Amino acid sequence: MLVLSRKVNEVIQIADNIEIRILEVKGDTVRIGIEAPKSIEILRGELVQSITETNQEALTIDMDLLKQLMKKE
Amino acid sequence: MRIETKFHATIEIDSADKWCFPKGIPGFENETDFVLLPIEGSDSLQVLQSTKQQEVAFIVANPYTLVTDYTFELDYATIDLLEISQPEEIMVLGILSMKQPYHQSTINLQAPLIFQVRNKKAKQMILNDPRFTVRHPLDKGGN
């Protein structure tokens, strides 16, 4: 992993179209501004993790329940 | 082509029926090819089955039949990836987490599956919207 130290208002440039700016550091919270093309997906890491876990959980399917549903409808 | 499925044994599918998830699905990034299979006796539920991994199969449903007031905007990354040009080109499904008893089952409204029906590309889009959760109860409306 590349590790860089930055001060407030300093920028990290990624390729020629992504710019990450440190806006504010307050306690243990860092506010970051990101400029990137609209086609680049930007998501909070814990949200992606939550979707991943929900997908994995969704694979566990109770076959009895499924059979009941098929009869019910 | 013949595929092994989780709920339908070994079946023959038409490769034209395959949906391509170019980036896979979160947690299953290597699974790019899926088919939608009906569940016998159910009008509202279908199976989203990986064509390569038998055990990777999700129960999916049309979220609009299960919950009211579900609206969201497609993000540009999704529009771009799926090459969407018309609203009519998309179909939306949600992944269910099935629980016993059935009314404890939930649907993931925060990450709907978006299908582009013209080019058969699809994606699980993640919404940055706190109104929706990954485990929305099914017993509110619908079924």
Strands B19-20 and B113-116: unpaired
CA-CA distance, B9 to A71, in Å (whole number)?
Answer: 19
pLDDT, residue B76, reads 94
The answer to whether the beta carbons of residues B74 and B116 sit under 8 Å apart is no
Residue of B26, B41, B99 with shortest CB distance to A55: B26
For residues B34-43, give the mean pLDDT: 88
Q: Confidence class of residue B75 from pLDDT cuts 50, 70 and 90?
A: very high
State the average pLDDT for chain A: 91
Mutate to test the interface with A, among B29, B93, B98, B129 (most CBs of A within 10 A): B98
Strand order in the sheet with A29-35: A11-14, A18-26, A29-35
Q: Confidence class of residue B93 from pLDDT cuts 50, 70 and 90?
A: very high
Residue of B45, B59, B97 with shortest CB distance to A54: B97
Distance of CA B139 to the CA centre of its chain: 19
Alpha helix positions (H), B1-143: 63-66, 76-82
The answer to whether the beta carbons of residues B101 and B137 sit under 8 Å apart is no
Does B140 have pLDDT greater than 60?
no
pLDDT, residue B69, reads 85
pLDDT, residue B142, reads 44
The answer to whether the beta carbons of residues A24 and A34 sit under 8 Å apart is no
Both tokens assigned to A56: 């994995």
pLDDT, residue B21, reads 98
The answer to whether the beta carbons of residues B16 and B4 sit under 8 Å apart is no
Does A70 have pLDDT greater than 70?
no
ipTM above 0.85 for this complex: yes
